[in-house]
Structure 1
Amino acid sequence: MRRNGVGEGRGEVDAIVWGRLVPVLLGLTVIGIAVYEIALQCRLRREGVRVRGVVVRHTVSSTGETRSRHAVVGFVDADGTSHEYRSALSGTGKLPVGGEVPMIYLPGAPAKARIDIASRRWGQVAVLMLFGVAFTAVGLLSMVSGIGVRHHSL
């Protein structure tokens, strides 16, 4: 509550600060994930084991009214163990069930496999980076536009 038309209640200020800080923190977290993925992609290119996988099925995920299809690819590592990889990037649902797909994974870490199609590998990084930068920019712009703005009542 305001007194004498000056100041804002502590809860109101905290809500405004958090409302502006959350997008920045979310954006920086997503950028961090993108940087991790870039490092992993570089390591896969240097040290990765390439194998052929087969699309075994598609999964559907939904966010609100948006539905996305993701390919699930089965592959066998150098030790003869079977694994499945679900693509994090939507649009891989266009890969036909039963179709062969090049895969790449780190030796001893087949859980870090990726579909070995450059546009798919780097597309995931680009999407993450785009969202991370967008959230961070929105939060920072909100913070900057709110600096020095005071509401006075008569």
Structure 2
Amino acid sequence: MRRPPRQGEESPVWLTLAVVGDLVIIAFGVHEAVIQRRLVRDGLRAEGTVISVRQVSNGKGGGHHDVPLVRFVDAQGRAHEFEPNSSVARDIPMGGRAPVIYLPSSPDTARIDGTRIRVLTLGGLLMGALVFTFGAIRLIQMGG
């Protein structure tokens, strides 16, 4: 017969999830910071246009948010399309102009250009990492 868990016995699972989540967010943040640094240093700028907007569900609440599809032409005259991963880009309307920055050797690195977007993207990742870190610390304090 299995005994009921004592208070704090389930914490190691949550602690593990918090630590793994934290590491994933930190790894993604470092990757994004490296790309952003390379874009600022070596990137080319182009003007993009929002060619469509896709609605994505926010989950059970029934709400949604818009994700624009941006098309730009690189220095060689080839067209590329991408969906910005920044929530700030959601404000660009259909047909709207979007400043784009990309690495000439890798146009798939394209991002919406702008200091505000870079700060908000990296700041959001930092906040996510802090939430997981403080969650893990709290679980340790609770006896996890």
Query: What band does the TM-score fall into relative to the shorter chain?
Result: 0.7 to 0.9
Which residue number in structure 2 is paired with residue 136 of structure 1?
133
The equivalent position to 1:44 in structure 2, one of 36, 39, 44, is 39
After superposition, what is the alpha-carbon deviation per residue over 1:26-55, rounded to whole angstroms, capped at 9, x for unaligned? 022112111111111111000001111111
SS in 2 for 1:140: helix
Between 115-124 and 63-72, report the one with greater CA deviation.
Answer: 63-72
Which residue number in structure 2 is paired with residue 53 of structure 1?
48
The equivalent position to 1:104 in structure 2, one of 86, 101, 105, is 101
| Matched residue type, 1:34 | G
Q: Residues 30-109 of structure 1 correspond to what in structure 2 (within 5 A)?
A: 30-64=25-59, 65=61, 66-109=63-106
Deviation at 1:117, TM superposition (A): 1.8
Structure 2: segments with no counterpart, 5+ residues: none
After superposition, what is the alpha-carbon deviation per residue over 1:12-32, rounded to whole angstroms, capped at 9, x for unaligned? 95x531222101210221121
Structure 1: segments with no counterpart, 5+ residues: 3-7, 148-154
Q: Is the 8 A contact 1:31 1:129 kept in 2?
A: yes
SS in 2 for 1:87: coil
After superposition, what is the alpha-carbon deviation per residue over 1:80-124, rounded to whole angstroms, capped at 9, x for unaligned? 111111011224232122122110001110000000122112211
Separation of aligned partners in 2, 1:136 and 1:29: 12
Between 89-98 and 125-134, report the one with greater CA deviation.
Answer: 89-98
Q: Is the 8 A contact 2:42 2:103 kept in 1?
A: yes
Which residue number in structure 2 is paired with residue 124 of structure 1?
121
**Superposed structure 1 runs of 4+ greater than 4 Å apart:** none
Question: How many residue pairs were aligned?
Answer: 139
Taking structure 1 as the reference length, the TM-score comes to 0.80
| Matched residue type, 2:141 | V
Separation of aligned partners in 1, 2:58 and 2:97: 29
